[in-house]
Amino acid sequence: MASRSTVKMLADMDRIIAFSDKAIYKTSSIRRYNTTQIIQQQSVLEHEGSVALIAMLLSDYFIKNGAKLDTEKIMRMAIIHDLDEAIYGDIPYDAKYEYGKTSEEFRAALERMKIFTLRMILSSIGDSDLAKKYFGLMMEEKEKGTPEARIVKLADYIDVLIFINHELSLGNRSVRDIKEKAEKNIRGMLLNMAKDFVMHTDAPRRGRDFK
């Protein structure tokens, strides 16, 4: 006869499996760039995996060059950064940023929806401590106020650029404006990071702060 601790563990595993099933299969079926002509589609799940790999490489690079970063935190943040899209899908960039006050109002409404959606999704884990931890990571990434969140956002833009470059190589000329925006965002973030490093050029390499 199984012990009470074993029964509890099995019940916990059932919840973890159910949550993983929802997170993986929903995000694997949601397509990005859904208002743009795309030759080779990319799912939200594929994007999250790409961002996680790029974020790991960026973190290791910046740490090697003197930054003080939490790579584990960056990886966790990258893997779940678009989890909320499992419910409402990928919102086009233009809708969020290109239409002045309309976009501002939309982003405010979207933020409220994200918070509600995240709480709903994470509650299905069945562990309030884990749900709170993951919610905090996702909100930190959305706010982009910490070095780790900025690394994830940079990785996000880089994945966009890589994907769009492949589309261009396949002959898709309709994505050229996306490439320009991605390059502009990457350049801006890197310039800001470079300024942060310049402030610490006389500090020891083993632990200069990123910000």
Tally the C-alpha atoms within 13 A of residue 158's C-alpha that lie toward its C-beta.
Answer: 19
Q: Please tell me the predicted confidence (pLDDT) of residue 199.
A: 38
In a domain? residue 35 = yes
In a domain? residue 163 = yes
Any idea what DSSP says for residue 30?
Answer: P
Range of the domain at 191: 4-81+91-198
Tokens, residue 113:
């929806």
In a domain? residue 210 = no
In a domain? residue 58 = yes
In a domain? residue 119 = yes
Distance CA 106, CA 93 (A): 12
Low-confidence ranges of the chain (pLDDT < 70): 1, 95, 99-101, 196-211
Q: Please tell me the predicted confidence (pLDDT) of residue 198.
A: 46
Alpha helices in 30-127 (DSSP H): 44-64, 71-80, 85-88, 93-97, 100-123
| Close Cβ partners of 182 (under 8 Å, ≥ 6 residues apart) | 157, 158, 160, 161, 164
Q: List the helix and strand counts (H, then E) for the chain.
A: 9, 0
Q: Please tell me the predicted confidence (pLDDT) of residue 132.
A: 92
The tally of domains found in the chain comes to 1
Tokens, residue 194:
């470079």
Q: Please tell me the predicted confidence (pLDDT) of residue 156.
A: 96
CATH number of the domain to which 113 belongs: 1.10.3210.10
| Close Cβ partners of 128 (under 8 Å, ≥ 6 residues apart) | none
Q: Please tell me the predicted confidence (pLDDT) of residue 40.
A: 95
Measured CA to CA in angstroms, residue 111 lies from 95, 104, 138, 184 at distances of 14, 11, 12, 24
Q: Please tell me the predicted confidence (pLDDT) of residue 87.
A: 77
In a domain? residue 209 = no
